Amino acid sequence: MSLHSALPDTRTSDLHRRAAALNDAYRHHSAIAVLARALHDSDVGQLALVSSFGAESVVLLHMVALARRETPVIFLETGMLFTETLVYQQELAERLGLRDMRIIRPDTADLKAQDPAATLNQTSTDACCALRKTAPLTRALACFDGWITGRKRYQGGARATLEFFEVEEGANRLKVNPLAHWQPGDARTYIEENRLPRHPLVAQGYPSIGCMPCTSPVAPGEDARAGRWKGQDKSECGIHMINGKLVRQGESA
């Protein structure tokens, strides 16, 4: 085996050891403590929070503002978001005093080549998400050692055994999941106790909010994700991968 082929395996093994050690050290910490320590722990490295500024995003945004206001916050402006989301993002970032907002957009040349009429979502939602979300996020995260997500164990599937720290396979980065152990209702309680502003579309029946063409309200009693890509066998945009496969459950960031 050549030196060049051995290096990625060595780095991945080292990341797995670091993740295991971090999980052991922070196993009994609260979400806010895990996040605060991760943002100041040299073993974690440089982190960014990836936020959709969606229905529950204010929780981690508020925690980041308390723990380290200078933390880079990456917001994927796909060009197809609700106006309410764009206004909410601006108002919330200002209210929380976030000092390093990074508005990430799809590459102009890629849009012109792959979706000149902005209709790709009508023929292939996977291709549209790859163009407008996955590819821009990959570029935005290239300079970071890891990123913070809002995923939780109760969302099921591959997330049922989610740890606070995990390795993003294929990217040689850490993922930090401060809310991994939260239960349904904890986010709402946190928002209410801290008097944080909700996304305006939540009150209109949108418990999960993505791009406008692919998001619709849900009926009472329906799963929170029922309004995302309605009528399709799809529940994730693809920014979360495990062993090269999409994670098909729950909120993303």
- CA–CA separation, 215 and 32 (whole Å): 30
Which runs of E-coded beta strand occur in 27-186? 47-50, 73-76, 101-104, 146-148, 165-168, 173-176
- CA–CA separation, 103 and 229 (whole Å): 24
pLDDT band at 21 (very low <50, low <70, confident <90, very high): very high
Q: Catalytic positions, please? A: 237
Residue type, 112: K
Element (H, E) at 103: strand 101-104
Residue type, 93: A
Among 43-52, 71-80, 121-130, 222-231, the least confident range:
222-231
What are the φ/ψ torsions at residue 103 (nearest 5 degrees)? -85, 115
- CA–CA separation, 138 and 209 (whole Å): 21
The confidence score (pLDDT) of residue 80 equals 95
Percent of the chain with pLDDT over 90: 64
**Residue range 3-246, CATH number:** 3.40.50.620
Give the pTM: 0.85
Average pLDDT of the chain, as a whole number: 86
pLDDT band at 249 (very low <50, low <70, confident <90, very high): very low
- CA–CA separation, 140 and 52 (whole Å): 14
Question: What is the CB neighbour count within 10 angstroms for residue 104?
Answer: 16
Residue 6 pLDDT greater than 50, yes or no: no
- CA–CA separation, 77 and 93 (whole Å): 14
Residue 2 contacts residue 34 (beta carbons within 8 Å):
no
Q: In sequence order, what are the residues at sequence separation of 6 or more whose Cβ sits closer than 8 angstroms to the Cβ of residue 82?
A: 201, 209, 212, 215
Residue 146 pLDDT greater than 50, yes or no: yes
Per the listing, tokens 């290239």 go with: 142
pLDDT band at 8 (very low <50, low <70, confident <90, very high): low
Among 59-73, 126-140, 151-165, 224-238, the least confident range:
224-238
Both structure tokens of 183: 């239960």
- CA–CA separation, 198 and 184 (whole Å): 17
pLDDT band at 227 (very low <50, low <70, confident <90, very high): low
- Tell me how far CA of residue 202 lies from CA of 191, 234, 250, in angstroms: 13, 21, 16
Residue 248 pLDDT greater than 90, yes or no: no
Cα three-residue angle 114-118-135, rounded to 5 degrees: 50
